[in-house]
Structure 1
Amino acid sequence: MRLQKDSEPWDGFVLPVSIPDPSTRTRKVLIVGAGIAGIASALALAHELKPHEPNLQITIFERHEVLSTSGGAINLTPVAQRHLDRLGVLSELDRQGADGGADVDAIELISSRSGRSLGSIDFTDGQGNGVNGYKGRRVMRIVLSLAMLSVVERHPNIRLVYGKKLARVTESPKGETILHFEDNTSATGDLVLGCDGVHSALRTSYVDPSRPSEYTGLSFLQTTIDTPPPPQPQSRSARNSTSRPSTSNSSNGSAHSYSIRSLRKSPSISTHASSSTPTISADPSSPSSPSMHPPPFRTTGLVLSRHGDLLGSYCDRSHSTLFLAAIVQMNESLLPRYRIDASPSASSSSQSNSHYLTPPHVDETRRRLAIHAALQGEIHSRFSHAGHPWIRDVAKLKTNWMLYPVYQVRPGGKWSRGKVILLGDAAHAMPPRDESAAYALDDSIMFSRILAHHRDEPLCEVFARYEAVRRAAVEEAFSEAGRMWNTHRDMGFLEGRWKEWTMPWVLWKNRGARNAAWRFDAYDV
């Protein structure tokens, strides 16, 4: 089920609603954070609320001076793709060409010990059809951000302002909320959405200061490498050495259509992360690049071991770029030793970053090289004895791995105060389970629809209605994510073998719940 190119993004999904008397009020909505939740909230509000309030004004405030390239590649589940399609973003992704992401039929699970398949998380049925017409997709986060910004540009009532780091929040005598920024400017609004992530300044300074983010004990070690095109399938037995390119049609007509490599050269895009994580060529024909065996998966694979897990996924349609992410247990005391930040403001944490700064007597280049070497050592020690040659090849890669600690926000706290409400990770950051984008989109769409339906009610009642339909599901998902995340920690021999033996049963047991989650429709509220 896809949209016609000349249709509005919501045609065919939502029944037209009669709007007898559009309001003449001018509602000012302020959104803190230009991530997935922030931009999706702006687009959803423009669709749901603007027909009722034509004078709606939406301003997004982003703390960084330019668009950041950090974050690696993310997985879009069928429900996330469906929501993006309704917001008009999926067609923009397709216009990015090969960089618009790789179609994912399944996440294949592989034993690091033996190299054999343990099953798969399928995004399609036996005939290759997606869930309600949508499969999975792996795409670089920066490419998704550019596609979303292209859609934002079509809405004259949405404005995006960079370089606005929140300092404090006050209330005016008229009951309006005032955001004060570190550059001594301020903005006044009738409604504020906190979409500023797990280290949310709005949460820690205003809505619920008692709920700081906390380290989960696990971290991602990430990089991307250039790879040669995988061989075409020769037979059923050759599945482990093949991959399937996307069949989506696309054209490069977007104002934000960039190749992944060109992003590092754009003056309007931050490269503080990518400058430290260049892709390396794995083309065996190049004398300076390593030779790698074909991966044991078509598009995306998760290697399970008792020393952490390793995700590998193509993230472009041509399958020329491979995203790698090891999920490893790491003591919090080691994070400053392995963390690279371009500047004190590069960290998204609201806490002090002084322990990440380079001492004046330490040469920055040598420090970075030492960190990269240490992280390469972490990968090598965990996966160099794997049963599949491709995994051993990854363990030997001389590439620049980067550390991304995983934080969470425990459930049960406040989501709103006054005229401010938290959405996405700012409200309920949980350990990643390949559903992060879907949860952010769910929040944005559900809140926007509830606000539109109850636009004449006090905001406190709108907030209560939203929490009534959202909180229980989020807290259940948090518990499930915690149980799953626990399987990534370091294990003993017997526990590791038990993890392998029971994985096919776990996949079968959770299949119904996964399919139900992928069929969930935030537009049903």
Structure 2
Amino acid sequence: MPIEHAIIIGGGITGIAAALVLTKYNRMTCSIYEIKLEPATIGGAINLTPNALRYLDHLGVLPRLMHLGCRVKYIEIASLRTGQQLGTMDFDNVEKFKHGALRVMRHDLLSAMLATLGESGVQVQYGKKVESVVEDDVGIIARFEDGMTVEGDILLGCDGIHSAVRTKFIQPERTPEYTGVANAYGLLNATDLRDTIPINSTTLFFGRLGSLLPANSRLYFSAVMGTQDVGSREGWTVKSMEQDALKEDLSRRFSGSTLPMMDEILRRISAIALYPVYRLSENGIWSSGRMLLLGDAAHAMPAQGESVGLALEDVVLLSRILEQDQDVPVQKLFQHYDTLRRTRINAAVEEANFGFETIKDRGWAATVLMEWLTWIVLAWRASRKEKEFEFDVRDIELGL
């Protein structure tokens, strides 16, 4: 039977992207349900790689987004200890990648995606908590906590790392684990600090007690550092509210001769948000029957600036597979998606986990060693990154 109606659980970036691509290219009806009461995202700015921009162009979102972000030609990697540049990550090869990179606020990205989706007449239903699902040979029914039910042909779990679809219906034992690292971020107008901030666009300062990522003019400030787990979401919220203690900790970690303006930056930031970085175990189960997990619900990993691009790849690849022979059982289509996707995701998870292990607090000798190794690793990864930025799931042979 043809797949005509997708139930999408999760109204964040992955869920909206799934609805955009399935509505536009598969001519499917999509119903989106979000547990939050209104549109919301977790996190500050995000660096959209060339891959992500190509897919956003494919979805019709990019024209709305370009004026909201800041173009990023490259990210400098520097030593916080010495101020010396250790290498760069280059995005500025538009001829090869078709796009550069763009830094945007997460809420701007979500707003642009929602506005684009609204043009097709699809709206997210908020305040909807999925309670149970029942499926048979012809479809699937989702029931929500308020008693509402909806029938569809497939159900997509796009509800993030704390996915209810995964923990209730697909793999309950696969729960998020804390990485030992938290991200503190803030935003301020730094126009009058331009001459005293030693960066041109974006610089990642690599130090003993974490990594600091400032970006110039309208300064986006992100500090990633080893932090003890406080045990609950409520506990993390309380810790975020302890602004004086948080700023004091950031000053201890990152102030010094390399960044003499650090204390001034911290003084000017009115609020710093703190959130823990979680991940999922590798090689989890992504599908069951007519249900499929996408994005962080399937493969949440420590952020390396490419998570949005990977989520967009997920939905675009799924769209291509669902365009195939409609006589193929849904379960086989989902298994084929898994086969095509697993190797690339496993490689991304391995790289992300390695990157976050190097962020944790370390001694002086280990820091110096990591500085020496960084330029070697960056040089070794340069050609690999170029291939990754060129990669496009629209070009792969499906073989179905």
Distance 1:468 1:442 in 2: 14
SS at 2:223's partner residue? strand
2:101 maps to 1:136: yes
Q: 2:78 aligns with which of 110, 131, 134?
A: 110
Structure 2 unaligned regions, length at least 5: none
- Residue identity matched to 1:165: K
> How far apart, CA to CA, are the structure 1 residues paired with 2:388 and 2:3?
37
C-alpha spacing 1:322/1:378, structure 2 compared with 1 (3 Å):
same
| Contact 1:386/1:392 (<8 A) preserved | no
1:324 to 221, 244, 254: 221
Amino acid at match of 2:167: T
Shift of 1:119: 1.6
Match in the other structure for 2:205: 303
Residue 46 (1) aligns with residue 23 (2): yes
Q: Structure 2 counterpart of 1:88, which letter?
A: G
Q: Is 1:401 aligned to 2:272, yes or no?
A: yes
Radius of gyration: which is bigger? 1
> In structure 2, how many angstroms separate the alpha carbons of the residues matched to 1:389 and 1:122?
27
Inter-partner Cα distance in structure 1 for 2:264 and 2:374: 25
Deviations 1:42-70 (A, max 9, x none): 111123311xxxxx311111111111154
String of CA shifts for 1:298-322, please: whole Å, max 9, x gaps: 22111110100011125xxxx4x22
In structure 1, the residue corresponding to 2:185 is in which secondary structure? strand
Correspondence for 1:217: 180
Q: Is 1:119 aligned to 2:96, yes or no?
A: no
On the 8 A contact 2:31/2:124 being kept in 1, the answer is yes
Which one has a larger percent helix, Structure 1 or Structure 2?
2
1:373 aligned to 244, 252, 261, which one? 244
* C-alpha contact (below 8 Å) 1:338/1:374 kept by paired residues: no
Quote how far apart the aligned CAs of 1:194 are.
0.5
CA RMSD of aligned residues (A): 2.1
State the distance in 2 between where 1:388 and 1:497 align: 18
* Greater strand share, structure number: 2
2:281 is paired with a residue whose SS is coil
AA aligned to 2:183 is F
Counterpart residue identity of residue 211, structure 2:
D
Distance 1:26 1:509 in 2: 44
How many residues matched? Answer: 396
TM-score, normalised to structure 2's length? 0.93
Q: Structure 2: how far apart are the matches of 1:67 and 1:491?
A: 39
Q: How does 1:386-397 map to 2 (within 5 A)?
A: 386-394=257-265, 397=268
Q: Which residue number in structure 1 is paired with residue 132 of structure 2?
A: 168
Unaligned runs of 5+ in 1: 1-22, 51-55, 229-282, 284-290, 341-355, 357-366
- Structure 1 distance, partners of 2:155, 2:339, is 19
- Distance (whole Å) between structure 2 residues aligned to residue 174 and residue 438 of structure 1: 33
The answer to whether 1:430 aligns with 2:327 is no
Match of 1:159 in 2: 123
Q: 1:60 to 1:336 in 2, by over 3 A?
A: closer
- Aligned ranges for residues 62-77 of structure 1 at < 5 Å? 62-68=34-40, 70-77=42-49
Equivalent AA in structure 1 for residue 337 of structure 2 = Y
1:238 maps to none
Which amino acid in the other structure matches residue 140 of structure 2? T
CA distance in 1, matches of 2:71, 2:154: 37
Paired residues of 1:191 and 1:420 also in contact (CA < 8 A): yes
Q: For 1:166 and 1:335, how far apart are their aligned partners in 2?
A: 22
1:292/1:78 CA distance change after superposition, 3 Å: closer
CA distance in 1, matches of 2:257, 2:361: 15
Amino acid at match of 1:159: Q
Amino acid in the other structure paired with 1:300: T
CA contact (8 A) 1:26 1:57 kept: no
CA distance in 2, matches of 1:107, 1:65: 36
State the percentage of identical aligned residues.
35
CA deviation map 1:202-260 (0-9, x unaligned): 000001111011111111011111221xxxxxxxxxxxxxxxxxxxxxxxxxxxxxxxx
Range that drifts further, 381-390 or 448-457: 381-390
Indicate if the aligned counterparts of 2:3 and 2:153 stay in contact, CA closer than 8 A. Answer: no
CA distance in 1, matches of 2:249, 2:341: 39
What CA deviation, in whole Å up to 9, does each residue of 1:273-294 have, x standing for no partner?
xxxxxxxxxx4xxxxxxx6753
Q: Post-superposition shift, 1:482?
A: 0.8
Task: Give 1:184 deviation, angstroms.
Answer: 2.2
* Residue 55 of structure 2: aligned partner: 83
Deviations 1:465-486 (A, max 9, x none): 1011001211121111111111
Moved more, 375-384 or 175-184: 175-184
* The one of 331, 336, 344 aligned to 1:473: 344
Task: Give the match for residue 277 of structure 1.
Answer: none
Alignment partner, residue 144 of structure 2: 181
Partner of 1:264: none
Determine if the alignment matches structure 1 residue 444 to structure 2 residue 346: no
Structure 2 counterpart of 1:223, one-letter code: G
Q: Distance in 2 between matches of 1:292 and 1:409?
A: 39
Distance 1:505 1:470 in 2: 29
